[in-house]
Amino acid sequence: MQILKGTPVSPGIVIGEAFLLDLEEYRMPRRAVEPEQIEQEVARFQTAVDAVVGEITEDVRRLKAAMPEDDLHKIFEGHAAIVNDLVPSVVDSIRKYRFTPEHAVSKRVRTIVKQLTSRDDPSGLAARFVVDFNDVEKRLLRALFGERGGLKGGANGKSVVFAKDLTPSQTIGLDRTKILGFVTEFGGRTSHTAILARAHGIPAVVGIADVTRDVSGGDTVIVDGTKGIVIVEPDGETLKKYRALEKNFISFERRTADEMRSQPSETRDGIAIALLANIERPEEAATARDYGAGGIGLFRTEFLYFDPRNLPTEKEQFEKYRQVLKSMDGRPVTIRALDIGADKEVSGITAQERNPFLGCRGIRLLFERMDLFRTQLRAILRASAFGKVRLMFPMVSTLDEIKQAKAIVADVREELDAEGVSFDPEMPVGIMIEVPSAAIAADILCTEAEFLSIGTNDLVQYVMAVDRVNEKIAPLYQPAHPAVLRLIRSVIDAGARAERPVSMCGEMSGDPLFTALLLGFGLRSFSAVPSALPEVKKVLRSVSIPEARQIAQDALALPDAHQVVEYLTEKTRRIIPELF
């Protein structure tokens, strides 16, 4: 039995078999094929091609069924085309040079990749093709070695996914119905893996160095996403203990969700609190509603741009936004303008930068790509005729940026009006507060912004000068640091003085540890992943505003993040002891 410690990022306990994702390292047989075996090897290669094309076809079918209005399936259709394009040259290499199919595939793909990487690539499209060819190569090699791709399930059809890290595109491609938990070597509480896990209630632990070396596929593992513990090949006594804990946690989650769903979102002394949901895809709106969300506080639109070769049209975006509005049935929906850059790279849109977190991202990139910006604004404005839409700009740092963005919105409104297209002329326009300059000057920005939404994921990163996905300095990423807390309170105060609504859509908003504290700061609107809403509601319904203010006052008097967390843990444990 081996016990590994990492960073807990999504609570819960699961027991299952380990699945190591994307870690294949193949040795290519370079021996010459005997002349009498050439056609046999060609046939073996063709069998592998048929198997891979079949896998890809199934992936396309699954994506179309799960997300009928998305274009993600086109990526895999492109992979099928790559497979078929490789066939003639690989077969030729087998017959002419007597290469094994494995060596022929790798040699041909390496040649293509070398050609792609040797040329100038200002658009980033060649880099994207490199990823596609590498993916296809692995599929073919798996098939040739007699292995199946995809996520294999354990005895109950599910597995715990182990990986060095997961990119946004990888997480989108995973079949979530087969995932029990996540464990990665890299990442932090605001990494893509963590956000995905919390959004779907999947226990996860990140930041365990070399964990993919310590675990083998098929190992029995326990993942404790509450304490940040992973146990490999547990003994019988440990298994028995954790099976009981797993059962209790699942029961608690269901009980809390059922208990809170129909309860009003208000404090113990009757102060109404808005509980909203963060979503990435239109189909998640229904889940948000089921968890009792009073609206959508953050609709991330980046998923629309997942495939740079098929950028979304105005009509396609409009339909997605309208779908969310229809699902929310009159509840407000805040749509964030495209926010890519830094760790959210999209080939062909974002450029390679020396320091991408401080580079051309968010609103800065939108100003650079006016074609994308105006198309999205037209789609959002058109959708505003079908429900309560609020538009939010990301990564704003100056007053001039708000003025410039609003001027573009006004121009697009005039354009639509001239075309006779309906839209809400009173659609509110607000900003994310996620850089220190915006937080410090929130009172100034309120003169132009109609509402504020605090994005704590990036705000904490910039205040603490800590890369939020760097496991080496993960302990320094401290949402409870006094500097962060003071800044958050000042933003809320600035909004109150200017009579501007202030919400929070970062991960702090969905952490019940901070609920009472934020209430005490004056926050009256929380937006979080849907699965987090029941626990947040349970806390806020258990405290009065005077009690919350006292908690906030006491926390602000503490000198460091560790003492703040200890204090808040003590207070929250009295309300939800099952979490600790």
Looking at the annotation, which residues are catalytic?
A: 192, 505
Dihedral pair phi/psi, residue 272, rounded to 5°: -70, 135
Per the CB < 8 A criterion, the answer to whether 83 and 52 are in contact is yes
CA proximity to 157, closest of 314, 17, 361? 17
Instruction: Give the DSSP letter string of 461-491.
Output: HHHHT--TT-GGGGGG--TT-HHHHHHHHHH
**Roughly what angle, to the nearest 10 degrees, separates helices 101-117 and 38-66?**
60
DSSP notation for 399-457? HHHHHHHHHHHHHHHHHHHHHT----TT--EEEEE-SHHHHHTHHHHTTT-S-EEE-HH
DSSP code at position 34 = P
Show the tokens assigned to 322.
Answer: 């309208």
Q: Distance between CA atoms of 572 and 327, rounded to whole angstroms?
A: 33
CA distances from 368 to 126, 360, 362, 458 (A): 21, 8, 10, 21
Instruction: Report the alpha-carbon distance of residue 8 to residue 203 in Å, rounded.
Output: 8
123: nearest Cα among 349, 323, 331: 349
Q: Is 245 left (phi over 0), alpha (psi -120 to 50) or beta?
A: alpha
Sequence-distant (6+) residues with CB within 8 A of 498 are 443, 446, 447
Integer CA distances (angstroms), 209 to 162, 186, 195, 524, 565, in order: 12, 7, 20, 39, 25
Question: Given its phi and psi angles, is residue 157 left (phi above 0), alpha (psi -120 to 50 degrees) or beta?
Answer: left
Amino acid at 560: D
Taking a C-beta distance cutoff of 8 angstroms, is the pair 301, 393 a contact? no
Strands 389-393 and 229-232 come out as unpaired
**DSSP element (H, E) containing 503:** strand 502-504
* Helix (H) / strand (E) containing 2: strand 2-5
Q: Is 369 helix (H, G, I), strand (E, B) or coil?
A: coil
Measured from the Cβ of residue 379, the count of other Cβ atoms closer than 10 Å reads 24
Distances (CA, A) of 27 to 112, 187, 371: 19, 29, 46
Number of H helices, E strands in the chain: 21, 16
